[in-house]
Each structure stands twice: as structure tokens, then as C-alpha cells.
Structure 1
Amino acid sequence: MSGNRRTFRTSQLISPFGPGAIVDIGEESLIMNGTDQWPSKLERIELKRLTEATGVFHLKKAPPVFRDSHDGLWASRFPAWLFCSRCRKLEYRKASDEAVNADGVPVCKNAACKNRTLVPMRFVAACNHGHLQDIPWDKWAHKKSGGTCTEGSDSRAQLYFESKSGEGSGLDALKVTCRNPGCGSSQSLGSIMAPGSLPGSCLGKQPYEYRETFTPCNETLRVLQRGASNLYYGIIKSALDIPVSSSSETGPLIEKIKQNSEYEDLIEAERRNKAKRAEVIASEIAETLGTDKESVLKAIRGKNTEKREFKIPRDEDIRKAEWQILTSADPASFSWPLFKARVQQQPSGSPSELRKLIKQVVLIDKLREVRAFCGFERIKPDGNIIAATTTRDERKWLPATEVFGEGIFIEFSSTQIRDWEDRNHGQLTARLENIKAKHASLNSLYLPQPSAKFIALHTFAHILIRQLTFESGYSASSLRERIYAFDEDQAGIMIYTADGDSEGSLGGLVQQGEYHRLYAAIESAVETAQWCSNDPVCSEAETQGVMEMNKAACHSCSLISETGCEYNNLLLDRALLTGNDEGLEGLLSPVAATQEDVK
């Protein structure tokens, strides 16, 4: 870790580059450090629904401008093993080495290489507990001699990462060699991906943790490529800023207290049972509010904030209030500065099959979304959440970002969807059996239950986003989805765009939500989804994608930008929309059939 500066967008500090994520910047590879290494003074983001849902006191945003070495966010070089692409010499880069070059970019010390930038090794090691570390390449090279150099000198000093085209293909052609005089140990990478292949044990930590001691970890290390999609799953929970009340509020006084700059200090004193300190702070707050300290303490203790504990909220709990407003008869009647919505009146000449399936379309002219980073997982999302902070103290705040924009909300007829599920019960049960079994093997807080309704609506959101990118002028990475399919009567999706500008976007997406444009886009999306350039491989796949959680869905037909999908492009199957040759009727098969009749 050094004071050298690297830059990227503030919005990326939650996703995809939250704490614990590996970031490629130019030719360098870095890992984002924990939030305990963030600056102490950060701007708060207010959204009561989300702080209460996550059990924290505050949400805070990353600093928008890097002014000095104390202002930015820290990252550590990872992997620390680098090599020169010209002479192939390996170098282990310690944190103390970062100040050698003015710009912090490591270069080869061999004069013949003329300051060529060192390249990070592409393999790293992780365990099922989510720990991450460098592969000990010195021990790998000397694996046959017990992990130490037979010359007795520094086993790291003369390591080379060699490529020998005449000695096989793939990883077999790569090897790490020790060129210490009298040693010459060498080990191919051909077996490095095999379970238990690495010498040594898991260090039980993250690369940016610098404590002297760590909890021992007995998990077997696994070798992964640095850019592997299963190396990092950020847990992001978001909520829309909508006009809802919270049952946990005790009155207007607590709201005034929370706006005071000493509120957090008061909560901390209460939590640590420092009664005298709490009384002093309460007196100061009471004076500014024109009340007495007893009223302040009563309001605080009435909320039991000292017992607030961090938790990962369920999407269905956060979205229940949103669903109630979005599906109301008149969303425009809700007065809220950052939420403006109106119902589209469905014209009588709309396509009959779509008119039966779509109950209501709501155009959202203005919205604000707050996204909080709750932690991350590695290798597989099994509920083993790694905190954004490396301290063992209670998590009192979460990093967050707020975005503004516009959207289209589509409410489907839950009756029509239930009828479709009933008609195809046997087919749907058989088709989703493998995905449900995979999901059941995980204790996942990352993925919802894979019901036929959820997968169908999720896939529909994807194909519609892909179609709208051609028609709305927005790029694929700027459109996002929000799925409402958790309760029995919930069946809806939101497609929206959002950025950091409080003015939001320019209305192009809302314009696409007008019925004549929206229905045309849906019909085009359905027609496109009936065939994939990877068919029949895609359509006939038993499972595919990360953790084999998709059916007929690949990059050519259904996947979207990772910033646009809430669920890492998992739980997708276009056959649930368009049907297949095995007798499954798709949810949108009647729409496709109508198109065929027109042709």
C-alpha cells in the first residue's frame, strides 16, 4: 500500500469495485481495502428504510475528490508476485517497496529491460471461507525439494516464470524455475489447478489485512484465475426513496436528535454504557433543541438503538413498501421530492395477448436509489459473508452510493402467471429441478428462491433491457433491473436508469414506456429471444453459467452487463418465456404465436 494515486468513478466503489474486490487499472492489479481504512469524515447518505433494514446507524459515501493521501481510499497491490514480460524474472513486491518509483508502477530492475512494467501473476489462491492470498511461487518452484532452495540461499531471489512451447500446451507449457547456482528446481503449472496441489496452508486473512496474528484456517486452498467471476460476489442491498413511514419511529423528537452532529457520539456512549458521558452529550443536544436531557435520553432509549445489530435484509422485505406504492391506483398522488410516478392508460387497441398479461404500466419520471455494500463472498455464495471492515468491532455504518434517474415499472397479472404455472406444472418442475438442487446446496443470501415465476420475470427483464438499448439511446451498462416476484401476488419488473447527477436523466427511457413503444419493444424482444446464435447448444443445455444456475441463457441471447443485473446473471431461462420443443408453453408463447399469425 502506498500514497500513489489511481483513479476511477466514485459510483464503482460499491459495485463492482467494493471492499475486497480486485481491480485492474492499466497494467496493475489492486485489491480494495476494508472500510476501516476509509477517511474518518465522510458525507452521510440518508435513507431511513435502508439503515433500519440493515441494522446500522449510518450510510456513508466515498469521497468524491482525492485531495491528499489522507482523503482517498486505500488499495493494496495484489497479487504481490509480479514478473517481467521480457526477461521473465519473478519479483515479490512488499508494501515497503511501493515508494521506489515516483508513480508507484513497479518496473524490472534488469537494465536490459529498460524499466519495463512488471506484470501481475494471473493465478491466486482462495479458500471456501473466503480468504485470499498469493500463491507461494517460491515454494511451488521448490515443491520437489520440500519447498526450500537446495542452494540454501533466498528461494525468492532467482525465480523465473518461463514459457516453453516445446514442452506441451496450456498450463503444461508454463513453469516456475529457480536459477540459483546449484539449485535449478523447476515445477510446471500443469497440475496447479488440481485440489490440494498447493504447498502450505491458508493464512486465514485478506491481502489488505495487516494484523500480526490471524485465526487459523484449515480449509484447503484453491487456485483461481485473478479475473475469475466466482472470486468476488459483492452483497449489495438497495432501496428506492419513496414516501413510506416506518413503524419503528417514536416521534418527531428522535428525528431532530438524529440530525444533530453529536447524535452518533450519544449512541456510542449509550452502547458502551457510559452514563455520565451520555448525559453530557444529551444535555448539549437538548440545549440546541430547546428541550431537556431526560427527553433526549428517553427518545434514544425508546428506540433501543444501543441494541441495533447489523443484518443482511431480504429483498422481499425492502420491496414490499415499494410494491404497494407502484401498484396503487394512483402513484402520482404520493407527494415526494425524489419520486414522481404516473400510471399509463392502456389504449383499447393494444395487442390482446399482452393486454391480458400486463396489468399496469407505471412511468417513473424521477427516482432516487440508495445502494449499500453489506459485505462480500468468494468462490460460492453460501452465506459466509465477509465484512467490509477488518475490525472485530460492531459494524455501525456501511459504504453506500445514491443515484438518480427514471424508470418503467410493469405489473403483470398474477392470475395469468398462476394459470401458466398450473398448465405447465409438470414441465416446469422437471425443467427447474437441477437449478433448485444447486440452490438448495447453498446457504445463499445472494440469490432468491428459483421459482418459475421469478426466473421468467428475471429473464423477461433481461431481454427487454437488451431490446431497449437499441431503442432508448442508453448503453447496456446504464440500464438496471429490479424484480418484484417474492410474494404470491407480486409479479412485476422495473427497468430504470440512474446516475450520480441529482437532476436524473433526460426522459428517454420513460418515453419508451409509452404503450405503443413498449409493446413494440416487447414483441421485438420476444421474437429475438426465440432463437440464439448458440442454439441448439444454448437451448438444450442442462445447465450453464456460473455455478450452473442458468438453463437456456447465454451471452448471445440473455445476459446483460453485470452492473445491470441484480443477481450476477444467474437464474435465467428464455425457454420459460418462449417455450421449447418438449411441450413447455412459455409465458410469452401466446405473444409469439400472434406474431406468427400476423406474418
Structure 2
Amino acid sequence: MAIDRSVRSSQLITPFGPGAILDIGEESLLLTDLAGWPKNLEAIKLDRLTRLLRKKLKAPPHKEEYGSNNYKHSISAIRFPKWMFCPNCRHMVRWGKSSQQRLKDELEDKPTCPYEKCKKRVLVPMRFVVACEEGHLDDVPWDIWAHAASKGNHCESKANYLYFITDSNKGSGLDALRVECKSCGASRNFEMLTSPSALSNIGLSCTGRQPWQKMQLGTCTATPVVLQRGASNLYFPVVRSALDIPIDNSRVDSSITEKIKSNSLFDEYINRLSIDKNSAELLAKIITNEENCTLEDLEHAASNESHQTPSDTKVPIDHYEIQEAEWSFLISENIESHRENTFSARVEHGFHQATQWDLEKKFDRIVLLDRLREVRAFLGFERVNPGGNTLVSPSGNNDINWLPAIEVYGEGIFFQFSESEMEQWERKEADFISSRIDPIKKRYDEGQVNYLDTPTPRLLLIHTFAHLMIRQLSFQSGYSSGSIRERIYAAENQAGVLIYTADSDSEGSLGGLVQQGQVDKLNATIAAALETACWCSNDPVCSEMETQGVMGLNKAACHSCSLVSETSCTMNNLLLDRKLLLGDVSGEGYFTSTIRQIRATEGTSFSHEDA
């Protein structure tokens, strides 16, 4: 019987892209680089995104294509970690190189214990692996670990007689686990295994290995650490997404500089400038001819070059650059005139006439997106610490000019906050805002969390509002909270959020989300979200906490009032503070006047049950 090792196609972008460890049943598999993907994949078209990424986009094979009965269209993987143990006799085995091949379900069996008494019990992968900030990955050298505490030990068979022992008398901590050599008696538990200097203390450095790549890298100077193979910091996929907005590409984000930068020879021209001027001049003639530009245009593009070519040591493109064109389009006056199969929008013109409770002052415009398409591209991944300068390309060391991507379809509601009202609030409540924001900024700088946007008052305000609305809309729209996403626009001169749903399994949507954005429902929905946020079941603790969340990057925000599913949030449920919306005795929030008027409305109660 063939073994089913299939996953959803969208999961091959995140969370299980190239270089990720995937647990399927009793097996632990490491997905290889793009060289191990099928060759004839469906192309995904979104010119605006491919120009910025300078890569073509291709969709992962569908489940029916790479499932258990059609391995020729499958994604290549290897067994990892190689060290396994028998759950019966506890003998440890390092799985041989013969397993490092394409998984062919009808040919390859699961690894089993070689001892006859165990009756072919399936081996269980060891729980721990070695990784470093440069993206390298390797097995824990269990033979060295077991003998490290035995000074002067020269066991010649230390890799062949290892056993994974669990001491039930010591509880469930790491000190209850140990690796023991039955040949010489050496033994060591796991108590210090996950400490930052565990391997360096026994003279081990990073091996520089990338078992998921066909081509291996060289040495590495980073400090290796031991992590559980399912640890959240073992693999950080870096994904950039863009909306398919029907704009004139020659008018938005496609200046002559961008056209030049998108030329396939531009990167080579940049490289040749410093090493071979003659070949650079030849490339310059080709580029200027193809793009119908002058040499001065090309030199200007080269002098302002900020793009990082895909490699193992480059920073991914900033999402602000992708969203700039989207913001310009979403606030444009003629957005309703652009109707296509993948996009349809209408401005809710009646919002300001029929609104209540000063909400017409808080928002400049509400746009309902009946149809939208989003493309999400996988740029690479990071390990151990996200947001650093190391981005490991999914192509590994291979010369591959495409990235895996998926396209999703759905609907959404766009809220454009009032810029004048926002600026007035920031000036009037500067002291109150500083008291909330400054501690978060300090922890942000100390934590080196570059994968998050820089904390600003409007970012935290808009982000928290998005979470409150996602929670409220999930009750009313028919969608689960995990299927509703946010898209924050909080850069300079931007103040808005798109709350939308997008699913890769079907085109279109249920229509329930847009229906809640209509003026006869939206006022009550916003009011219910704000009133619900005023009463957290963890108050007064939640409201008065100085720090919450990872590295203390939240203030008044917890699971009971503000956090949403990880699939919904673009910032890991961080940079949240509902007090910026609600205010307190020390100052007013952005919606304080609205909340006063809601509560003054006689006989009106807005809860999520009856909003």
C-alpha cells in the first residue's frame, strides 16, 4: 500500500516551503530546494510583483498531481534528521545515505529497526536538530554528545552502540533524557543540550551543511544551537504578497528606472561595473536598446540600486514597496471604473450620510471589494533569528530564475482613516501616545526584531483596529477568524487597512464579508467591536500590564480581547494596544468620542450577539 505524503499546495509556500521540516505521521521529512521540484509548473502572472522580485512565479503542483500515485510530479524530500531510534529497544540508528533520494512511495518503505526481536518496528526520528543564524541545518552529533563528559574516552564504536534512554523517575524535563553508549558506558543527559553554548562548549562549530540542497556550502563561523525540530524559530518563511489591482502599469510603480531594473541583464550589468568595464559597456548598449532609454537613465538606475539579488546573505524586498501602488489605487477617485474578472470594487458612498457616533470623522472612505486576487510569493527563509541579514534562497545554490507562489481569491473591506483626524489626535494626545509607544519602541530596538515594522502610533492603532474588526466580523460574516486576513497601510502619509478573505481552493467568495461592510451594518459592527474591546475578561490585569506578548511588544492586548489567528496577522500578534483606540484616565484614544456617544445612545446595546 502506497504511503500518502501529500499536503495542500498552499502549505508548500508557508509553512512548509523548501528547507522546512515536515512531519507526516511517524516520518520527519526535509523538503529540498527548487531543483527537486517538477519542471513544468503552472506560471502565475502578476507583472507588478515579478518586476519587483525580478523572478518568475510558478505554482506548486496540486495535491492530485503529486500525491501517492504520481511521484513524477512530486516535491523532492529527504529523511531528516538522520538519527533515529527504535521505540522498542531504544537503539539509535543513523539512517544511511541511500535514503537521500526522491521519495517514491511505491518503492521506499519506512525505516525499521534492524533487530529481529523488534519485529521491524518503525524508527522514530530524534527530536532535536542543529541550526545556525546563517540558515545551516544538521543532525545533533549524538556520538560526540554522549562521550563529551567522559574525559579521555576513546570508544572506537561510539556511533554504533548508542541508545536513547528515558528516565521516568526524573519527570518530564530534559534531564530525564539521555544518550548512552552501551559499548563503553559513556552517558550524558539533555539538560544543557539547548543552551546557546552547548555545542561550542564541547568544541563543535557549525558544519555549514545544508542537507536540503544538492550543492553544499562551505564553512560557517556562526554559533550553532540545538533546537527541537518542531520549534517555531527553526524556520521563518519569508513571503511577499501583492494584490492584483487593474492599474496602468506604465503609470504606477513602473517608471523608467523600474523598467530598467526589471531587465534580465541589469543584475549582470551591476556586477560587471566593478570588474569588467568593457563587458559592462556592451551590456549597457543591449539594455538601453531593449528598454528604449538613455545611458544616463541606466546609470541613474545603477546609482540608486537598492535591490538585493537572491542569495544566502541578502535582505528581502520591503513590503512597503509592494503596497505603495496598492494604497494609491485604493484611495483613487476612479477605483469603481476598474472592473475585471479578478477585481471589482465600489465605494460605500452612503457611509458618511448614514453614519453615527462621529464615525464619519474617523474614516475618509470605505471601499467594498467584491472580488480581489492576491499573489503570495515565497522568497526564502531564515533560521533561529528572523529579520536579520540572512535570507536563504529556495533555489539553494542552483541558477533558478523563478519562485514558488500561489494565487488566492476573495473579498474585502478597505478602511481609509481620516488623515486630518489622525494627525489632530497625534498632536493633541502626544503625551498619552508617547507613554504607550515609547516603551514598545525601546523593547523593539533592544530585541532586534527587524521582521516587524517600526512601531508608530498609527501602526499600532490601525493594527489593533484590524484585529478587533476581524474578531467581530468572524461572528457575523460566516467566515472563521482564521480565514480573514489583514493588510496594513501605515507608512508615511498612509492610514488604512484592508480586511479581506482569500482562499486558494476556490475562485470568488461567499459574499458574507462585503455584506457586513454595507452602511446599514457597518456602523453597528464597528460599534460592537469597540464596545467589546472595552471589556476584556482579563481586565484589569490586561489593561494595566506594562508588557505582554513576545519580548513585551504588546501592551493592553491579550487572547481574550485582541489577538487573532496566526494566519490572519501579518505581525505575529505583536504591536497591539487597544488603549490607543479606547483611551483611559491619562488620555483619549482615537475612538474615545465615539465610545462616549455609543454609550449615551439610550436603549442601545452593541454586543457581538446582536450587532
Above 0.5 in TM-score? yes
Residue 139 (1) aligns with residue 144 (2): yes
Provide the rounded CA distance (Å) in 1 between the counterparts of 2:32 and 2:266. Answer: 27
Distance in 1 separating the partners of 2:446 and 2:167: 41
Instruction: Say if 1:81 and 1:134, in contact at 8 Å, map to a contact too.
Output: yes
Q: 1:492 is matched with which residue: 493, 496, 499? A: 496
Say which SS state the counterpart of residue 202 (structure 1) adopts.
coil
Say if 2:110 is the partner of 1:105.
yes
The 1-side partners of 2:489 and 2:84 are apart by 46
- 2:149 aligns to what SS in structure 1? helix
Deviation at 1:50, TM superposition (A): 0.5
Alpha-carbon contact 1:4-1:103 (below 8 Å) kept:
no
Q: Cα distance, 1:507 vs. partner?
A: 0.9
**Which of 207, 211, 215 pairs up with 2:211?**
207
Question: For residues 532 and 25 of structure 1, do their structure 2 counterparts lie closer, same or farther at Cα, with a shift above 3 Å needed?
Answer: farther
Q: Is the 8 A contact 2:394 2:403 kept in 1?
A: no
Secondary structure class of the residue paired with 1:130: coil
**What TM-score do you get using the length of structure 1 for normalisation?**
0.83
Could you tell which deviates more after superposition, 171-180 or 368-377?
A: 171-180
325, 330, 333: which one pairs with 2:329?
A: 325
What amino acid is the match of 1:158?
Answer: Y
Name structure 1 gaps, 5 residues minimum: 274-293
**Offset from partner CA, 1:209-245 (integer Å, 9 cap, x none):** 3435x32212222222322222222211111111223
Question: In structure 2, what is the equivalent of residue 289 of structure 1?
Answer: none
Tell me the distance in 2 between the aligned counterparts of 1:531 and 1:159.
Answer: 56
Q: Counterparts in 2 of 1:416-427, with a 5 A limit? A: 416-427=421-432
Aligned CA distance change for structure 1 residues 498 and 231 (closer, same or farther; 3 Å): same
> Which residues in structure 2 correspond to 1:200-349 (within 5 Å)?
200-211=204-215, 214-247=217-250, 298-299=289-290, 310=309, 312-344=316-348, 345-346=350-351, 348-349=353-354
- Which of 47, 53, 59 is residue 61 of structure 1 equivalent to? 59
Aligned position for 1:184: 185
Q: Which residue type is aligned with residue 567 of structure 1?
A: M
- Cα distance in structure 2, aligned partners of 1:159 and 1:271: 53
String of CA shifts for 1:118-176, please: whole Å, max 9, x gaps: 33333222222232222222211111136x964421x2322222221323652222222
Per the alignment, in what secondary structure is the counterpart of residue 351 of structure 2?
coil
Aligned partners of 1:162 and 1:175 also within 8 Å = yes
Aligned positions of 1:436-515 closer than 5 A: 436-441=441-446, 446-488=451-493, 490-501=494-505, 503-515=507-519
The structural deviation recorded for 1:112 is 4.6
SS, match of residue 231 in structure 1:
coil
Q: In the TM superposition, what are the counterparts of 1:397-436 in structure 2 within 5 Å?
A: 397-436=402-441
Q: Which residue of 1 aligns with 2:98?
A: 96
C-alpha RMSD of matched pairs (Å): 3.5
> How far apart, CA to CA, are the structure 1 residues paired with 2:97 and 2:522?
54
Distance in 2, matches of 1:245 and 1:442, equals: 41
Evaluate the alpha carbon distance shift between residue 142 and residue 354 of structure 1 in structure 2; reply closer, same or farther with a 3 A threshold: same
Going from structure 1 to structure 2, the CA distance change for 1:169 and 1:61 (only over 3 Å counts) comes to closer
Q: Tell me, what secondary structure is at the counterpart of 1:365?
A: strand
Q: How far apart are the structure 2 equivalents of 1:491 and 1:143? A: 57
Whole-angstrom distance in 2 between the partners of 1:568 and 1:419: 29
Which residue matches 2:87?
Answer: 85
Residues 1-54 of structure 1 show CA distances to partners (whole Å, capped at 9, x for unaligned) of xx9761111111112222222222223222322223222222211111101112
Cα 1:585–1:527 shift into 2, 3 Å: same
Structure 1 residue 359: Cα displacement: 2.1
The 8 Å contact of residues 113 and 121 in structure 2, kept in 1 or not, is answered as: yes
Name the aligned partner's letter for residue 44 of structure 1. A
Alignment correspondent of 2:18: 19
Q: Write out per-residue CA displacement over residues 230-263 of structure 1, whole angstroms, 9 at most, x where no aligned residue.
A: 2222211111111223348699xx9xxx9xxxx9
Q: Hey, what does 2:278 align to over in structure 1?
A: none
- Is 2:388 the counterpart of 1:383? yes
Indicate the larger mover: 129-138 or 442-451: 442-451
CA contact (8 A) 1:375 1:385 kept: no
The answer as to whether partners of 1:366 and 1:406 remain within 8 angstroms in 2 is yes
CA contact (8 A) 1:55 1:309 kept: no
Q: Sort the Cα spacing of 1:355 and 1:270 in 2 relative to 1 into closer, same or farther, 3 A.
A: closer
What is the identity, as a one-letter code, of the residue corresponding to 2:181? C
Q: Which amino acid counterpart does residue 453 of structure 1 have in structure 2?
A: R
After the TM superposition, which of the residue ranges 91-100 and 542-551 deviates more from structure 2? 91-100
Instruction: State the 1:494 CA deviation.
Output: 0.7
Q: Identity, % of aligned pairs? A: 45
The aligned counterpart of 1:530 is 534
CA gap of 1:435–1:226, structure 2 versus 1, over 3 A, is: farther
1:140–1:322 CA distance, 2 compared to 1 (3 A):
same
Indicate if the aligned counterparts of 1:238 and 1:369 stay in contact, CA closer than 8 A: yes
CA contact (8 A) 1:410 1:492 kept: yes
CA distance in 1, matches of 2:135, 2:552: 20
Structure 2 counterpart of 1:359, from 338, 346, 364: 364
Partner of 2:345: helix, strand, or coil? strand
Once the two structures are overlaid, the 10-residue window that deviates more, 433-442 or 166-175, is: 433-442
- CA offset at residue 268 of structure 1? 12
Cα distance 1:474–1:103, how it changes in 2: closer, same or farther (>3 A)?
farther
- One-letter amino acid of the structure 2 residue matched with residue 299 of structure 1: E
Secondary structure of the residue aligned to 2:222 is coil
Letter in 1 for 2:562: S
SS at match of 1:45: coil
Query: Is this contact kept in 1: 2:79–2:99, CA < 8 A?
Result: no
The 1:92/1:4 distance shift into structure 2, 3 A limit, reads farther
Conserved in 2, the CA contact under 8 Å of 1:482 and 1:566?
yes
Alignment CA distance shift 1:111-1:590 (3 Å): farther
CA contact (8 A) 1:356 1:416 kept: yes
Return closer, same or farther for 1:107/1:369 CA change in 2, 3 Å cut-off.
Answer: same
> Kindly tell me: are residues 295 and 446 of structure 1, through their superposed partners in 2, closer, same or farther at Cα, counting changes over 3 Å?
closer
Residue 194 (1) aligns with residue 185 (2) = no
**Distance apart, 1:297 and its partner CA:** 9.8
